[in-house]
Amino acid sequence: MVNLDIIADVNRRHEIVYIFDVADGNPNGDPDAENLPRFDPETMQGITTDVMLKRKIRDYVNVMFDKPIFIQSQAALNSLIREAFLEEGYEPCEIELSEEELEEETLIEWLLSKENLGYSIEEGKLVYSGDRSRKSDLFKELCDGLEQEQEAMKTKLDNIAKRVAEALKNKSKKKISDEMRDKARNRLCEKYYDIRMFGAVLSTGLNAGQVRGPVQFTFARSIDPIYPVDVSITRKARTTLARKAREGETEMARKPIVPYGLYRAHGFFNPFLAKTTGVTSGDLQLLYEALQNMFELDRSAARGNMAVKGIAVFSHENEKGNASADRLFRLVRISRKEGVSVPRSIEDYYIAAPEGGSLEAYSFSGVELTWIVKPDNFRMLDPDSMR
């Protein structure tokens, strides 16, 4: 039985050993290598990024628990930051647009394309909630992306930048105070699960600073070298009639896979940073649930069969910690069975580690080990092997 009072205690330091495998799939394609599985070119060990793990955690808590997520594709991040400032009482700058300007579709479309910089049009007014105040800076960002020959548009944008700058000068509170930034940042932490847990850069539009996340992961690395295979596949269909007439009924494609790989990643929870972002015990429980089940929610033909094989949590008695993370990670030892030259399942490995509970017998006083998912072929590590 998992003791949540220990592993979900936000006043303790925690480390995580996360073990998963993939069979006949691509766990994390490299866009710079035609989406081939990532690997270390010197050792040929497979690699998956920390970003991949955090993406799956985000998707799981969003879909299963309807938690708002900051890093997503539905809304511009600068818009979400600006929304937090507005909720905290920030008053954006407004200027009236002339009838001529409102009727010019090209100008309006261009201004609307600058939404991520803080521009919007509401009831015939141009609303600016960005962080610029000088006319030259406003003009520069408004013109960013324009072709050199669009002089007429530049003239109109220059006039708009001048009016916005004048309106900002007339505002009694043209500068955003540090207190306002702190309030907006705290509101974003409170609203978005992934900011509270993983942190975020919040200075890309209105500047709410930066949040250092208390939960971080390493890249995952396969225990043994992998051999990426680029499989040829066919489709008995054509996208256009012209291609069908020219090339026949079938199309060829490639599908990169890893026949098998057992991967290991490490995670860290910093209780000091958790205090600054407002992480709760419930947030940590969600994290552990996501790590257990996120592959079940993320099935695709490209990923093959991915499954979690082991989750171990080292919990310290206090915030500072009672042992180095590196030494604790070495208590979980994964080795290939004798006689197995080409591993193809978890059954081809032994995983040796402490059974769980206090690690005092292993010379780590004040640290407890909890197995959320205990691996197959588990063997208890002999405490004498540590001496």
Grade residue 150 by pLDDT with cuts at 50, 70 and 90. Answer: confident
- Per residue in 256-272, pLDDT (tens digit) is 999 999 999 999 999 99
CA 218 to chain centre: 12
Please name which of 188, 325, 218, 212 lies closest in space to residue 273, comparing C-alpha atoms.
212
For 307-345, how does the pLDDT look when each residue is reduced to its tens digit (9 = 90+)? 999 999 999 999 999 999 999 999 999 999 999 999 999
| Residue 49 neighbours by CB under 8 Å, 6+ apart | 28, 38, 219
Is the pLDDT higher at 18 or at 1?
Answer: 18
Average pLDDT over residues 42-59: 97
Element housing 286 (H / E): helix 281-293
- What is the distance of C-alpha 169 from the center of its chain? 39
User: Percent of the chain scored above 70 by pLDDT?
Assistant: 97
Question: Above 70 in pLDDT, residue 92?
Answer: yes
pTM exceeds cut of 0.75 = yes
Place of tokens 């900002």: 168
Q: Is the pLDDT of residue 113 over 80?
A: yes
- Give the per-residue pLDDT at 370: 97
pLDDT for position 16:
98
Mean pLDDT across the chain, nearest whole number? Answer: 92
